[in-house]
C-alpha cells in the first residue's frame, strides 16, 4: 500500500495464532512476532473485532493501548500501525498488518487499498490451524479461490480451452 513502510499477513484461527504468512521486511516480521509474543496489537484486535484497527501515532496515541507491544515496536522504528481483518464472509482468517516509520493516518485511498489487499489475501491459499474436540492442534489450508477444476454436469473435468487435454 502506497504510503506505508511495510506489511505482513498474520494467520489466526479463532484465538490461535498460527503464524505469519508473509512479511515485506525485517521490521514487519518483528512487528508480527511482537504481536504473537504479547497477544496484543493491531492484527490481534482487527481479527478479534472484525474491524480495521488504526493507530496513526504510537508515540502519542489518542487512547493508549497495547502496553507491551507499543514500546517494543517503537524501538524498531515503527510509528504508525494499521490492522485489517482478513475474512471470507463471517469467517475470520487473520489480519493484514501495515506499518510506517512516520506518524499519520492513512489517506482515504490508502485505506481503500488496504481493504482491497485484505480481500485479495482472503482469497489466497492460507495455512490455518484449529483445535479439534480433543484439544489437539489440526493443521489445514484454506484456498477460498480454489473450487477445484471446472466440471460438466456429469462431474467430468471440462477442458480449459479447445484442444486442451481433459484431466
pLDDT digits (tens, 9 = 90+) for 18-47: 566 677 888 888 888 999 889 999 999 999
The strand order across the sheet containing 16-23 reads: 16-23, 6-13, 91-100, 80-88, 53-55
- Per-residue pLDDT at 155: 42
What's the CA dihedral at 46, 51, 56, 61 to 10 degrees? -80
- Per-residue pLDDT at 89: 82
Low-confidence ranges of the chain (pLDDT < 50): 128-132, 136-167
The pTM assigned to this predicted structure is: 0.72
- Per-residue pLDDT at 15: 53
- Per-residue pLDDT at 133: 52
Amino acid at each position: 500500500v502506497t504510503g506505508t513502510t511495510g506489511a505482513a499477513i498474520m494467520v489466526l484461527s479463532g484465538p490461535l495464532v498460527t503464524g505469519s504468512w508473509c512479511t515485506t521486511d525485517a521490521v514487519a516480521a518483528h512487528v508480527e512476532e511482537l504481536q504473537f509474543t504479547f497477544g496484543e496489537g493491531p492484527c490481534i484486535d482487527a481479527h478479534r473485532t472484525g474491524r480495521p484497527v488504526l493507530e496513526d501515532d504510537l508515540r502519542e496515541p489518542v487512547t493508549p493501548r497495547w502496553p507491551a507491544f507499543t514500546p517494543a515496536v517503537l524501538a524498531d522504528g515503527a510509528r504508525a500501525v494499521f490492522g485489517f481483518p482478513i475474512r471470507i464472509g463471517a469467517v475470520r482468517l487473520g489480519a493484514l498488518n501495515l506499518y510506517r516509520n512516520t506518524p499519520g493516518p492513512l489517506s482515504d485511498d490508502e485505506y481503500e487499498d488496504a481493504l482491497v489487499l485484505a480481500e485479495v489475501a482472503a482469497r489466497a491459499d492460507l495455512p490455518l490451524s484449529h483445535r479439534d474436540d480433543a484439544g489437539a492442534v489440526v493443521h489445514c489450508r484454506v484456498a477460498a479461490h480454489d473450487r477445484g477444476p471446472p466440471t460438466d454436469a456429469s462431474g467430468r473435468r471440462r477442458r480449459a480451452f479447445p484442444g486442451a487435454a481433459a484431466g
